[in-house]
Amino acid sequence: MRVYYLDTPLNPDEVRDLEEMMEWDVELVRVPCLLPEGKGIAVDQEVPVSPLRAAGILKDYGQRCAFLQLSADNTYWTTQFTEAIGRLTGSWPFLVQTRKSRASIGNPGELRVLDLDGAMRG
């Protein structure tokens, strides 16, 4: 499964843990994007689309992929990217939270994966 990330990829131990936990073969895919400073609603909804397309997200149309959660100060952008992935692929991604990202949001713990598609579709 392709796991998209913006800044820092999973380290080898995290890749191994994710592959064991989810029974996936992980392919890390960097999304080439610098996040803008402002948060204008009209602009924000389209910010993730071009970088995701450049990273090859359309290869995942009709199938599931994953997105590596950004740090707490970028929670807004995690939401924008996961929504864009849902629009571009037809399914919400799995959200991968590392130990570091979990600590940054005040919920320390080990690597975990959230099924956003299952949560959003009920």
Chain-centroid distance of CA 30 in Å reads 10
Report the number of distinct structural domains present in the chain: 1
Chain-centroid distance of CA 75 in Å reads 11
Provide the pLDDT for residue 67: 98
pLDDT (tens digit, 9 = 90+) per residue, 2-48? Answer: 999 999 999 999 999 999 999 999 999 999 988 876 555 445 567 89
Pseudo-torsion of CA 86, 100, 14, 36, nearest 10°? 40
Give backbone dihedrals phi and psi of 87, rounded to 5 degrees, phi first: -70, -40
Provide the pLDDT for residue 38: 58
Q: State the DSSP H helix or E strand holding residue 95, giving kind and residue range, or none if neither.
A: strand 94-97
| Residue range(s) defining the domain that contains residue 78 | 2-121
Q: State the DSSP H helix or E strand holding residue 78, giving kind and residue range, or none if neither.
A: helix 75-89
Alpha-carbon distance of 111 to 121, in angstroms, equals 24
